[in-house]
Structure formats: structure tokens, C-alpha cells
Amino acid sequence: MPYALCFLLFMIGLYCAVVKKNMVKIVIGIMIMEYAVNLMLVMLGYHFGGVMPIVERDQMISADGQIAASFISASVDPLPQALVLTAIVISLGSLALLISICIRTYERYGTFDITDIRRLKG
């Protein structure tokens, strides 16, 4: 069921990116799509009642530095979270690029409407 909601969120973003004619709304739709994918990746590593995958002091067996087996079975998967952190950084960079393209286009054309931006002139 949560994956279906992720898919619904992705579809909302896709609708926003495809149907809307304002450039800023298209950027918002692309960002909603990225967040839906990030949410699905994080939920892949989650299981019910999981704890955060950060070792605290009392979860470590102090004699030989081993991590307790109960912590390993209880914690959520940290690998999708690291992947999503990288994806968030990349989406930040692409968001800055898209916003700068929007600003430049508005500077040149005076509008955000993509149906008015049709001249193939540098």
C-alpha cells in the first residue's frame, strides 16, 4: 500500500510536469517526482518497528568491540538511506540548474509560459 501511494505521488509530479504550462510549475513537478522516488527507496529499507541504524554506546558489546546481534536485526537498512542522501545532493544541484534556466528565460522573454517561448533564436 505505501508503494502505491509513492506511485500516486510520482504520477502527481508527472501530471504537473507534463500538463502545466508555467515553467516554475514544471520544475515543481520534476521535484515532486524526485521526492517520490526518494521516498520509495527509503521505504524499501524500512521494516516495522525498526530503529535508526546508528550504533549507540549501549548497543555495543564492550569486550571486543562487536555490535550486538539484536541491534543488527532491529535496525533498518542504512544502504538506501546513503543512496537517497546522494540523490538529494544531486537533486539540489539539478534544482539550482533548472531555477537558473527559468530565471534566464524570464530575463530574455519576459514570461514563464512555455507556449509563448517558441522562437529558435539565440
Where on the chain is the footprint of other proteins (CB under 8 A)?
Answer: 52, 54, 57, 60, 65, 85, 88-89, 92, 96, 99-100, 103-104, 106-111
Question: Which is closer to other proteins, CB of 72 or CB of 92?
Answer: 92
| 27 in Cβ contact with 98 (< 8 Å) | yes
Question: Which is closer to other proteins, CB of 43 or CB of 87?
Answer: 87
User: How many other CB atoms are there within 10 angstroms of residue 64's CB atom?
Assistant: 6
Q: Which helix (H) or strand (E) holds 120?
A: none
What does DSSP say about strands 60-61 and 66-67: parallel, antiparallel, or unpaired?
A: antiparallel
What's the closest the beta carbon of residue 75 comes to other proteins, in angstroms? Answer: 13
What's the closest the beta carbon of residue 48 comes to other proteins, in angstroms? Answer: 21
Show the CA angle centred on residue 49, arms to residues 9 and 1, nearest 5°. Answer: 30
Helices first, then strands: H and E counts in the chain: 4, 2
Question: Which is closer to other proteins, CB of 5 or CB of 101?
Answer: 101
What's the closest the beta carbon of residue 12 comes to other proteins, in angstroms? Answer: 26
Question: Which is closer to other proteins, CB of 18 or CB of 65?
Answer: 65
What's the closest the beta carbon of residue 13 comes to other proteins, in angstroms? Answer: 23
> In whole angstroms, what is the distance from residue 111 CA to residue 47 CA?
47
